[in-house]
């Protein structure tokens, strides 16, 4: 049946900070007949992804995969290691750290929330100071969001680990990497993380539907005595099945085919190259924002995100009106401001399967949108990003520099 809407040529530019566009190779990998999730062919797939995903987290320990969004992985991280009434120390980095805190309350935990202004990552000194006050070790876990998707601020996960150790505190260390895994360097084992939370729809380049817990031996030991109720999220239920490549209930079979392909793609590029690419795209975006004369929400350069950049619109202008104009004129989606940032910021996603020209097109759409929306800005953001990319190309390809 013909549609009444007019076809828009070309592809939609999905420049939100996740879900990210799914590469054709992953789409083709998922385009398979559904197979018997108790049979030998699935067993091969299950064993392969359960083993190979460890490299993305940089761990040698268990990684549990749930058919869920990242919110499910949050719940699994808490319910497997904590008991009713346990105190958990959390740092307010933005919308998602707040949601994690709210979940802890609903689960019957007692979060201690270090409040902040959403313009930096977590502060190790503040965490250390609060842990030092906890002489009786009533705090059972420290929860930190690595990359706060609502603000574009990164927390120094290794430094927080050192702060916990400096305080001599035995609390478990839980980290959300939903918008940083496979985009920003993360090291589960080296940084002493006990539970790493993540999801499929961002750096892993998959559709939403898979969530992850990477788990230390300390966390596994804690799960033996934790008393919060769980069944679907239970690591204990997962372990004997995962050992043989299976799951205790029906898994996301076709998404696991996609995950298998995504891991291959990350390894073929090399994780260090993946991180460098994201760093480059983030820097180009920030140079464009500065050239426009606009303000980056993240106040501390050391906390800049390589997954996204949140941009403050000038007083008297609405970021959502701007986003609507960009979508209507250029078929590009930008991230909205969440809760207390509603209407105040827009977010440019630069994570996942992107390249320099993808980012250039996105920045061109933003600059044209600023003009259409009448938002005060200077010209030249796109030119600043072009100049940066060109200089990086010369550095990375000596033959280009020699040609001059």
The residues, any chain, with a CB within 8 Å of residue 129's CB and separated by 6 or more, are none
Is the model's pLDDT at 404 over the cut of 60? no
Give 3's pLDDT tier (boundaries 50, 70, 90): low
CATH number given to 24-267: 3.40.640.10
Instruction: Share the mean pLDDT of the chain.
Output: 96
Give 2's pLDDT tier (boundaries 50, 70, 90): low
As a whole number, mean pLDDT of residues 209-222 equals: 98
Chain segment 233-266, per-residue pLDDT in tens: 999 999 999 999 999 999 999 999 999 999 999 9
In the DSSP assignment, the letter for residue 111 is E
Dist. CA 113–CA 376, nearest whole Å: 37
Which percentage of the chain shows pLDDT scores above 70? 98
CATH number given to 270-403: 3.90.1150.10
Q: What was the pLDDT predicted at 4?
A: 67
Chain segment 160-178, per-residue pLDDT in tens: 999 999 999 999 999 999 9
As a whole number, mean pLDDT of residues 202-215 equals: 98
Q: What was the pLDDT predicted at 143?
A: 98
Chain segment 70-96, per-residue pLDDT in tens: 999 999 999 999 999 999 999 999 999
Cβ-based neighbour number of residue 384 at 10 Å:
18
270-403 has the same fold as 24-267: no
Per 3-state DSSP, the chain is made up of helix, strand and coil in percentages (nearest 5) of 45, 15, 40
Provide the residue ranges of all domains of the chain, joining segments of one domain with +. Answer: 24-267, 270-403
Q: What was the pLDDT predicted at 401?
A: 57
**DSSP assignment string, 112-157:** EEE---SSS---HHHHHHHHHH-TT--EEEEEEESEETTTTEE--H
Chain segment 304-350, per-residue pLDDT in tens: 999 999 999 999 999 999 999 999 999 999 999 999 999 999 999 99
CB 309 within 8 A of CB 348: yes
Q: What was the pLDDT predicted at 321?
A: 98
């Amino acid at each position: 049946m013909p549609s009444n809407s007019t076809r828009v040529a070309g592809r939609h530019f999905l420049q939100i900070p996740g879900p990210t566009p799914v590469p054709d190779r992953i789409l083709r990998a998922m385009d398979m007949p559904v197979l018997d999730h108790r049979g030998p062919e699935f067993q091969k797939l299950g064993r392969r992804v359960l083993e190979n995903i460890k490299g993305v987290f940089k761990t040698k320990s268990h990684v549990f995969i749930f058919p869920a969004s990242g919110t499910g992985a949050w719940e699994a991280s808490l319910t497997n290691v904590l008991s009713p009434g346990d105190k958990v120390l959390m740092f307010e980095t933005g919308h998602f750290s707040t949601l994690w805190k709210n979940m802890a309350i609903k689960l019957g935990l007692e979060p201690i929330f270090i409040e902040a202004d959403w313009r930096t990552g977590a502060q190790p000194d503040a965490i250390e100071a609060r842990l030092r006050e906890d002489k009786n070790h009533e705090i059972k876990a420290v929860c930190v969001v690595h990359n706060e998707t609502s603000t574009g601020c990164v927390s120094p996960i290794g430094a927080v680990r050192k702060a916990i150790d400096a305080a001599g505190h035995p609390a478990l260390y839980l980290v959300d990497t939903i918008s940083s895994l496979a985009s920003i360097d993360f090291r589960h084992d080296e940084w002493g993380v006990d539970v790493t939370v993540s999801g499929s729809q961002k750096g892993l380049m998959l559709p939403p539907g898979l969530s992850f817990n990477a788990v230390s031996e300390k966390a596994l030991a804690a799960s033996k005595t934790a008393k919060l109720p769980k069944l679907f999220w239970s690591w204990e239920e997962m372990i004997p099945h995962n050992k043989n490549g299976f799951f205790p209930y029906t898994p996301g079979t076709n998404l696991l085919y996609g995950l298998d392909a995504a891991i291959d793609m990350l390894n073929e590029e090399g994780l260090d190259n993946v991180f460098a690419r994201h760093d480059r795209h983030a820097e180009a975006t920030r140079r464009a924002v500065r050239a426009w004369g606009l303000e980056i929400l993240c106040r501390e350069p050391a906390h800049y995100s390589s997954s996204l950049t949140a941009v403050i619109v000038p007083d008297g202008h609405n970021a959502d009106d701007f986003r609507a104009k960009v979508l209507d004129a250029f078929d590009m989606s930008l991230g909205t401001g969440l809760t207390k940032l509603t209407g105040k910021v827009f977010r440019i996603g630069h994570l996942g399967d992107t390249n320099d020209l993808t980012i250039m097109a996105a920045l061109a759409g933003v600059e044209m949108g600023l003009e259409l929306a009448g938002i005060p800005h200077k010209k030249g953001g796109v030119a600043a990003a072009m100049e940066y990319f060109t200089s990086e190309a010369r550095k990375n390809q000596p033959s280009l520099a020699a040609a001059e």
